[in-house]
Every structure is written in C-alpha cells, then in structure tokens.
Chains A and B, each alone.
Chain A
Amino acid sequence: MQKTLNESVYIQLSSNPKMATFLRNNVHKSCSMVGFDEEQTDMIVLAVDEAFTNIIRHGYKMDFTQRIDIRLKIHENKYFKIILQDNAPIIDKNCIKARCLDEIRPGGLGVHFLYTIMDYVEYTTINERNALIMTKHLPKKSRTKRLSSVNQQLLQTLLDIGRYVHQILDLDTLLNVIVNEVKNLIQCESVSVLLEDRETKELFFHTVLDENKEVANKLRGLRFDSNKGFAGKAFASGEPLLVRDVEHNPEHYNKIDEDTGAKTSSLLYSPLKVQKRVIGLLGVKNKISGSFSEQDVEAVTAIASTVALSIDNAYAHETLQQTIPDLSETNRIRKEIESARLMHQATLPQALPSIPQLDISAVCQPATEVGGDYYDFIRLNENNHAFAVGDVSGHGLEAGMMVSMARSCLYTQVNFSNSISDVMTAMNRMVCGSIDKNLMMTFLFAVFNTQTKVMAFANAGHPYPCYYQAKSDTWQLIKDGEFPLGIHEEFQYSTHRIQFDKGDFVVLYSDGILEASDENKEHYGLERLLKLLGSKKWMNAQEIQLAMLRDVRNFCESLFHDDLTILVIHFL
C-alpha cells in the first residue's frame, strides 16, 4: 500500500496557550509545503493562532483542560481550508465582530486579523459543535505544480508525528514511534535521539533504532562528553551537521563505534531546540543507498523541531497537571479522574518485553476518562510467555478499578495455576463476585511456547484475533472462544491451540477499533480491518499497529477518540 497524502490533516490539542507554539510550527510547515510564500505563511499562522486563542479565551473562558480540533485540508485543488472545532457552548455568530478600526483600542483585533488575512471566514456548527472554517486561495503555482512526492511524504510524516504527540502521553513510547517514522522516511541504518544531561555535561543516547539490534542495545544509555565528535560540534553550534565521509575525517570520535561494534560512514545531526536552548540532537546514520541529500537535512531538521516540541509538550502537560488550581468541585473531580487515568495507564506494561523469536508491538490508549482496556505480558519461565488482553464493560472509575483487580488476580493466578482454564475460572469468579453485578469483562489469555511455537489460549468474549499464516499467505479470524467473564460463575472455559510458523502474525485488539465510528455513525468494523491487514505484506509488528491506528483515525476524522488497544505479535 503506497503511503499517500490524505489531503486532510488533523491535529487535536488541549486548550492550553502553551500549545500555541506547537500549533504555529505545524501550520507553518503545512503552509510552506503547499506552496504559500513566507509572508503569506506567516499571516496564515497568525490567523490560526488568533482563532485558537480566541476559543480558549471566549469559548472555554480560560479553561485550559478542554479540547480543540484543528483540521487543515486542500479543497478542490484550489483552496486551503483550516477548520477549528471546539466543545464550548454554541456561540451566536452575530456576537462575533471585528472591531471598528477607526477607534484605537485593544480588543476585537484577533477577529479583525482573521477576516483580513483569510479569503473567507465562516462561523458555523458541525455535529452540534462550534466550527470555524477559514479558507485561503492556494497560490497559483502550487495549483499546477503539486507537491513533489518527497515533500508529500515528509509532510505526511510530520503530521503523523504531530498527531502522535497528542495521542501518546508517554514520552518514551512517543520517541520510539518517532524514530521509527524517521527511519522509514530517510531510509537509513540508524536513528537516535540524544539528550544532554545538564548536571554532568554529557550527551547520552535516549532512544535508538538501529538495523543491528545488538548495537542499538549497547548504544541506549551510552554517555559521552557533550563536546566530543560531530555530535558535540552540532550540539555546540545549534546548527544541523552533515558529514558524508566519516571514517576518513579526523574529527570523528570513534570510541563509540569501537565500544558498540557499530560502523559509521555518514551521519547527520540536527539540534533539538526548546526556545533558543539546545537540549539534545536527532541523529541519523548511514543512508541505505547513496548519501544523505540536502532534502534529508531539511527533513531531519523539520522533524527535530517537532521532537523538541514534543519533549517540551510532555513537560507542559506535566506542569499543567500540577498547576490546575482547585477552583471548584468540578476541577477537583476532574483532577481525581486524571489521577485514576494515570493509575490505569500505570497498570499497563511500561515497556515491551524482549522475547526471543517474537516481535511485539502494543498500544493502549484509554479514552479521556478512565479506560477499561487492559493488556499485559507475563514471563512464566524461559520458554513460556503469557499475554493477556481484556476490556471491562463501560468506563469510569469502576471499570478502572476492575482492571486493577483483574491484574492482581491474574498475577496471583499465573503463579499458582497449572492450566489456562484454571486461570480463566479464577478470573471469572473474581468478576462475578464484583460489587457491580452488571460489570462484565472480555478477556483473552494466551501462553506462547518459544520452543514448540504453540500458542495455547482461551477467549472469554474478546473480539476474535486476526491471524496471518505466512505459509498460505492468508489472513483469517481465530473464532475459538466463549462468552465474557462475569456472566456465569461456574462456567468452564476451554483451551485452544494454534501452531505457529516463521512469518506469522497475530493481531489482538479491543472493540474500540471495531466500534470506532465516523460522522455518519458507521462503524469501522471487522471488514475494514481485514481489508487493511490483507492490503500488503507487513515487515514487522509495529508497522501493522501504526497502520491500524492511522486507518481508524482517518476513518473517524474528528470523531476519533483514542479508546483502543492494539497488540501485534510477529513470529520470527
């Protein structure tokens, strides 16, 4: 499946003025890429900025915890449209007026900017939400000469990264996803994020993706003086640095290569800047074919600014959590729900396990409130590894608590039970015994043996896993399973077995995927999922996971609300 530019871009931000910098940067990039000149780009950025802050000020009355959706799209190859949507009370559009310019006073200026800069401005409602639609004619030259494919790919990558920034709260996961995108875009052997440890004046490898996993493992966490080698040079200068022939360059700091067994022929560093301060570097190494081009430098630099912002963003999110004043009961409750949500996040695995012969990728994104989704990995012994995926009916604190209880029950059971059906029986009793009798939980528990390559599993009402058999090159559903936990206390769940081979995939997911719906209330559904999975040959687990997220998100557009779990296992 060719990566195509879906000519619509979607960014979701919290209604925090701190997000304005991020928004401005992304709109700036999008505008210059679709062909606006510098001056027009600056003006459009200003207009979007004004629209964004107006919503915070007048729509949300300075409540920084709400949400604003921004969509940028090219319409009929002639117009560039920017649509901002919010959940504030529906506004009376007659109230919105640009100020009279004869009178010199502050206020009303922002709206005047919108009307002056854009060709059309319309306040309306879409799906009972406020929508501000701003339209600007595309510059003539860009209408005939469309984006070059390289630019298109870069733009898509940048925008994808922009979305991840707001959907993945955990910085480590986020950076891992970003380096993967960079590697796909630049086609190089290695990508890394280096950060400065300000106490020791050292740089260290925070996130590394390398063709050679051993090298990546050695590099991760490796430290060196922040003035050493090309990295040091780029770090000190704050400018991108491209070195095409590293080996014969006397400035090369080859201790790192010696220590890790890596080989560096060419490299490219771009500084990560927060405001004017350099906090680290985004580095790419050894282009797979040919050498790094100026376009690569441009791409890495553009992505570096997003990476720096996402780090800053992670920090902004953090401080926001700490500084929400306890103004009212609602705020207090919101804060508690937020802690419950973080607690739920914390019940999920912090890192993916490294299991021989398995390549695993997982994502679990609970909705804005506390989610009922759950997944886990448990190492049973050297050859046996357990996976669990579950979903408690409903959301909110009770669902969140049930997830915590299920987790502790599972951890106890795997130590004491002899069989999968024992684990299921115990889990079922636990859910049946819960205070809320209406609570149910779908649960899939699987044990994979790395020696025999057999996966034994029981499925209590969880959506059927998708299974790819490499031998026959087909995707199918594993339809073995019974009803959810919490329905019948004495029920005996049966165990099923599947023999795996090299190249096979298993995709587990929550019903959040199937039930994701678009503007017409149509569900994403199993059919679309299977169509997506069958659309190409997949190389690794993460590729599938990201493609699924992207596909569901494109399907739902602004109605997408993050409430889903995906777990992909690839048998090596």
Chain B
Amino acid sequence: MSGYFKRKEKWHKKYLQKDATLPMEIKVEEVSPQMSVIIPQGEIDMGSSGELRDVLHKTTKNKVQTIIVSLEDAGHIDSSGIATLIEALKKVEAYSGELRVVINTKKIFNVFKIANLDMVFKIYESTQDAKNA
C-alpha cells in the first residue's frame, strides 16, 4: 500500500502545493478610513462565499461608510455569493453606510438581474466610477 500513498503524497507536494485548491483570495484596499474596496479573485460559489462573508463581516463591523465590492475579477457568482452581498447590504444600511458593487461583465450582471437585484444594489462599471460616485 505504501506505493499508492507515497506516490500521491510526493505528487501533491511537488506540483500542487498548498495554493492549488486556493481558498479564494480576496484583495482588500483601504482607500481611507471611510472607504474600502473588496476584490474577490476567482469563482464565488458555495465553497468560497464563506470567505467573502468573513471579509465583509469585518468591514461592516468597523462601520466603514462606503464599501465597494468589485466583481471585476470574479469569473462566477452564485446565489450564495449574492446572499452574502444582501446580508452585507442590510448591515451597511443599518448604520446608514453605502454598499457599491462593481460589475463589468454581462455574465455577472445577468445573475443580479434574474435575482431582481439589479435595482437594489448600486452598480458601477468600474472601481474608479464607484470611488468617484
């Protein structure tokens, strides 16, 4: 049995080090104490939306006035991702803050659209637009 395990172990040590099944990377840019830009990298689905939730939770807890979630680098978003954003939106609105979402692909926009949320979120085409708004 050692052959089986050894080979596998060697295998992933060598070619697929820890970052291979990446927990989703999320870039956070603190523009000012009143404004944060959150940029999830990769696909937001059931497996990764928890991490986005954690980051958003931290930001809303600090009551950051303007939170920008940029989905420019997100290839995919599903209902769990959307739900995470709704949750954050409610928290932000509770302290009269603002949540802005940056969407630059039709694919992602359509997901918001079929959820009937395209009018609920403030959507911008680029992070710069969202910052200047």
Question: What residue in chain A is nearest B88 (Cβ atoms)?
Answer: A106
> Nearest-CB distance from B48 to chain A (Å)?
8
Q: Are B17 and A46 in contact (CB under 8 A)?
A: no
Cβ-based interface call for B83 (8 A): yes
Q: Are A279 and B76 in contact (CB under 8 A)?
A: no
Cβ-based interface call for A501 (8 A): no
Cβ-based interface call for A195 (8 A): yes
Q: Are B5 and A342 in contact (CB under 8 A)?
A: yes
Cβ-based interface call for A53 (8 A): yes
With contacts A197-B15, A274-B20, A342-B1 taken as known, whether A49 is within 8 angstroms of B115 at the C-beta atoms is no
> Nearest-CB distance from A41 to chain B (Å)?
10
Chain B residues with CB below 8 A from A311, complex form: 15-16
Q: Are A106 and B86 in contact (CB under 8 A)?
A: yes
Give which listed residue, A42, A101, A198, contacts B14 with CB less than 8 A: A198
Q: Which of B1-50 contact A (CB under 8 A)?
A: 1-5, 7-8, 11-12, 14-17, 19-22, 42-43, 45-47
Q: Are A113 and B12 in contact (CB under 8 A)?
A: no
Q: Are A343 and B1 in contact (CB under 8 A)?
A: yes
Q: Are B78 and A197 in contact (CB under 8 A)?
A: no
Chain A residues with CB below 8 A from B76, complex form: 24, 46, 49
Some 20 contacts from A to B, beta carbons below 8 A apart, are: A17-B46, A21-B43, A24-B43, A42-B110, A43-B110, A46-B111, A50-B79, A53-B45, A104-B90, A106-B83, A109-B115, A112-B115, A113-B115, A275-B42, A279-B16, A280-B15, A311-B16, A312-B20, A316-B21, A346-B5
Q: Are A274 and B16 in contact (CB under 8 A)?
A: yes
Q: Which has the most chain A C-beta neighbours within 10 Å: B12, B43, B46?
A: B46
Q: Which of B81-133 contact A (CB under 8 A)?
A: 82-84, 86-87, 89-90, 106-107, 110-111, 114-117, 120
Question: What residue in chain A is nearest B107 (Cβ atoms)?
Answer: A42
In the bound complex, how far is the Cα of B43 from the Cα of A43, in angstroms? 15
In the bound complex, how far is the Cα of B111 from the Cα of A230, in angstroms? 40
> Nearest-CB distance from A255 to chain B (Å)?
24
In the bound complex, how far is the Cα of B80 from the Cα of A17, in angstroms? 12
Cβ contacts A40-69/B at 8 Å (1 or 0 each): 001100100110010011000000000000
Q: Are A346 and B3 in contact (CB under 8 A)?
A: yes
Q: Are A279 and B114 in contact (CB under 8 A)?
A: no
Q: Are B4 and A345 in contact (CB under 8 A)?
A: yes
Cβ-based interface call for A105 (8 A): yes
Q: Which has the most chain A C-beta neighbours within 10 Å: B8, B22, B78?
A: B78
Q: Are B114 and A116 in contact (CB under 8 A)?
A: yes
In the bound complex, how far is the Cα of B15 from the Cα of A312, in angstroms? 10
In the bound complex, how far is the Cα of B9 from the Cα of A315, in angstroms? 10
Q: Are B47 and A18 in contact (CB under 8 A)?
A: yes
- The B interface is mostly helix, strand or loop, or mixed, namely helix
A residues with a Cβ closer than 8 A to B are 17-18, 20-21, 24, 39, 42-43, 46, 49-50, 53, 56-57, 101, 104-107, 109-110, 112-113, 116-117, 170-172, 195-199, 274-277, 279-280, 311-312, 314-316, 318-319, 342-343, 345-347, 350
A-B residue pairs, 9 tightest by C-beta: A106-B83, A17-B47, A346-B1, A109-B79, A110-B79, A53-B46, A346-B4, A17-B46, A315-B16
In the bound complex, how far is the Cα of B93 from the Cα of A105, in angstroms? 13
In the bound complex, how far is the Cα of B19 from the Cα of A392, in angstroms? 42
Chain A residues with CB below 8 A from B16, complex form: 274, 279, 311-312, 315
Beyond A42-B110, A170-B4, A350-B7, 19 extra complex contacts between A and B, CB < 8 Å: A17-B45, A24-B43, A46-B78, A49-B45, A56-B46, A105-B86, A109-B115, A110-B79, A113-B79, A117-B114, A197-B14, A197-B15, A199-B14, A312-B20, A314-B8, A319-B21, A346-B2, A346-B3, A346-B5
Chain B residues with CB below 8 A from A42, complex form: 107, 110
In the bound complex, how far is the Cα of B4 from the Cα of A117, in angstroms? 44
In the bound complex, how far is the Cα of B115 from the Cα of A104, in angstroms? 10
Chain A residues with CB below 8 A from B120, complex form: 104
In the bound complex, how far is the Cα of B49 from the Cα of A474, in angstroms? 59
Give which listed residue, B2, B20, B89, B107, contacts A315 with CB less than 8 A: B20
Chain B residues with CB below 8 A from A107, complex form: 83
Q: Are A53 and B80 in contact (CB under 8 A)?
A: yes
In the bound complex, how far is the Cα of B89 from the Cα of A274, in angstroms? 32
In the bound complex, how far is the Cα of B117 from the Cα of A280, in angstroms? 40
> Nearest-CB distance from A84 to chain B (Å)?
15
In the bound complex, how far is the Cα of B29 from the Cα of A182, in angstroms? 45
Chain B residues with CB below 8 A from A106, complex form: 82-84, 86-87
Chain A residues with CB below 8 A from B117, complex form: 104
Q: Are A315 and B110 in contact (CB under 8 A)?
A: no
Q: Are B114 and A43 in contact (CB under 8 A)?
A: yes
Q: Which has the most chain B C-beta neighbours within 10 Å: A21, A101, A199, A316?
A: A21
With contacts A20-B46, A109-B82 taken as known, whether A198 is within 8 angstroms of B5 at the C-beta atoms is no
> Nearest-CB distance from B11 to chain A (Å)?
7
With contacts A46-B78, A109-B82, A197-B15 taken as known, whether A18 is within 8 angstroms of B1 at the C-beta atoms is no
In the bound complex, how far is the Cα of B107 from the Cα of A49, in angstroms? 14
Q: Which has the most chain B C-beta neighbours within 10 Å: A18, A57, A196?
A: A18
